[in-house]
Amino acid sequence: MIEFTLWDIVRNLLLATRWTVLLSLAAFVGGAVVGMAVLFFRISKNKWSRRLASGYIALFQGTPLLMQLFLMFFGLPMLGLRIEPWTAAVLGLTFFASAYLAEIWRSGVDALPLGQWDAGASLGLHYLQELRLIILPQAFSITRAPTVGFLVQLIKSTALTSIIGFEELVRTSNAINNATFEPFKVYGLVALIFFLMCFPLTQYARRLEKRAATR
Amino acid sequence: MAFGWLPGAAGDIAHGAGTTILLIAVTTLAGTLLSILGAAGRRSGPAPLRHAIGWYVEVMRNTPFLVQLFFIFFGLPSLGIRLDPILAAMLAMTLNMAAYTIEIVGAGLDAVPHGQTEAALALGLRPRQVFIKIVLPQALKVIYPALTSQIVIMMLESAVVSQIAVRELTYEADMLQARTFRSFETYFVVTLVYLALSLALRRLLVSGGRRALGAGVS
């Protein structure tokens, strides 16, 4: 048996953390792009677009992320696509994030007084200009705290991709645990690493919330 | 796509769904109770207890549920605490949910005007009676919608406990797809079952809340 020192364990976990960070960022950026598209449907003037977007959001918020990842992992090969755990993980988390981000931003759009739309229209702006220049900047600004809060949730959610075989922090820790038989130490360290990533963001979200409340 | 395996698998899926329902029922009761105690302790307990609860909430909210589950199931035996998979799952789910609902219940307690407590004390009720009979029911009414959402989220998150071999819905799906080689179809069906469960659970909680508290979610 190979002897693992504490430093060996920490070093391997930190190397795996890179993948957790990269996956979180990729899913957040991808989720923001797709989420924008869902948001456009969700606030559109067409009733059927709105319903379609609501259904999309309800579907992702009403089923376990683990199932979404499995469907991605086993479903895409049926469409003839060769798929690796990394692709399934990024795509699965992207769609998951898009539903939540669209809903968060939609709440921001709804919170704006209707006069903002009227003012835009009276300045002669058309729909897309109103969105780009008046509505969306304000909607993003007032939903900054829940958006950061969701990023924390997304980082924690990357742990599930270990189950479909993506080599991130948790999967690496399982392998280390199988070699060292020190679950208390290994999973404790993993929890600590996640905490160090998430806690500053949580605090940041809380500060944003407080600032928004006093304004 | 082929669903010929489905009739033979219905029993397993129903059994798995039953275990998932059992898990969330236990978690809801234990988690709500724990969070009421936690929120009360955080508001009016001694300073060390208040700090401990504060840190507990932060640690649980900033680490993944899967890691908490592994820590409890694989880590605790090295301290001599060995739990059945299903007990470990219930414990992990309860501890995880309480961290979120302590904040929710706390916000509800803060929302009850202080005059309510003073009026009840003036009527001669003991502090404990004031909390249980006057403050808590009003607080629960305010936070009921948030509590409902948290319970549904926890039910969806319980899919993860299949990883420590609790025979709930996802575990049954894993076994089925290994037997039928119809992975996509199996997970597709089970995803629909989860969707139905979350819709039914939400509806049940809304109507139950209306009856018991006069509160509800739209």
Write the pLDDT tens digit of every residue in A140-157. 999 999 999 999 999 999
Asked whether residue B217 is assigned to any structural domain, the reply reads: no
Q: Which CATH fold topology does A6-214 show?
A: MetI-like fold (1.10.3720)
> CB-based burial of residue B56 (10 Å sphere; 0-12 exposed, 13-18 middle, 19+ buried)?
middle
* Residue B65 to residue A195, Cβ atoms within 8 A: no
Write the pLDDT tens digit of every residue in A126-139. 999 999 999 999 99
Judged by DSSP in three states, B217 sits in coil
* Residue B66 to residue A160, Cβ atoms within 8 A: yes
Measured CA to CA in angstroms, residue A12 lies from A55, A120, A131, A182 at distances of 42, 54, 46, 15
* Residue A170 to residue B64, Cβ atoms within 8 A: yes
Kindly report the nearest CA distance between residue A113 and chain B, in angstroms.
Answer: 22
pLDDT at B213: 80
pLDDT at B122: 95
Write the pLDDT tens digit of every residue in A38-78. 999 999 999 999 999 999 999 999 999 999 999 999 998 88
| pTM (global) more than 0.90 | yes
Whether residue B162 contacts residue B190, with contact meaning beta carbons closer than 8 Å, is answered with no
* Distance from C-alpha of A96 to C-alpha of A61, rounded to nearest angstrom: 8
Residue of B nearest to A197 (CA): B62
Asked whether residue B40 is assigned to any structural domain, the reply reads: yes
pLDDT at B216: 56
* Distance from C-alpha of A156 to C-alpha of B61, rounded to nearest angstrom: 9
Write the pLDDT tens digit of every residue in A170-181. 999 999 999 998
Judged by DSSP in three states, A45 sits in coil
Number of H helices, E strands in chain B: 9, 0
Indicate the pLDDT class of residue A2, thresholds 50, 70 and 90: low
For A62, which of B59, B64, B199 is closest by C-beta distance? B199
Write the pLDDT tens digit of every residue in A67-99. 999 999 999 888 888 888 999 999 999 999 999
For B75, which of A71, A187, A202 is closest by C-beta distance? A187
Q: What is the pLDDT along chain B (218 residues), one digit of tens a residue?
A: 788 888 889 999 999 999 999 999 999 999 999 999 999 999 989 999 999 999 999 999 999 999 999 999 999 998 888 899 999 999 999 999 999 999 999 999 999 999 999 999 999 999 999 999 999 999 999 999 999 999 999 999 999 999 999 999 999 999 999 998 889 999 999 999 999 999 999 999 999 888 888 765 55
pLDDT at A71: 95
Write out the DSSP string of B34-48.
HHHHHHHHHHHS-HH
pLDDT at A64: 97
CATH number at residue B66: 1.10.3720.10
Residue of B nearest to A194 (CA): B63
- Residue-range definition of the domain harbouring residue B40: 10-207
Complex-level ipTM: 0.93
Judged by DSSP in three states, B108 sits in helix
* Residue A198 to residue B160, Cβ atoms within 8 A: no
Domain count within chain B: 1
B62 touches chain A (CB under 8 A): yes
pLDDT at B7: 87
Lowest mean pLDDT among A10-19, A200-209, B99-108, B177-186: B177-186
Asked whether residue B215 is assigned to any structural domain, the reply reads: no
Measured CA to CA in angstroms, residue A80 lies from A77, A83, B84, B177, B187 at distances of 5, 9, 42, 20, 18
For A191, which of B67, B184, B188 is closest by C-beta distance? B67
pLDDT at A82: 81
pLDDT at A110: 95
The rounded percent of chain A whose pLDDT value lies above 70 is: 99
pLDDT at B2: 81
| Domain spans, chain A | 6-214
Which stretches within B45-84 are classed as H helix?
47-61, 65-70
Best probe of the B interface among A61, A70, A71, A93, by most B CBs < 10 A, is A70
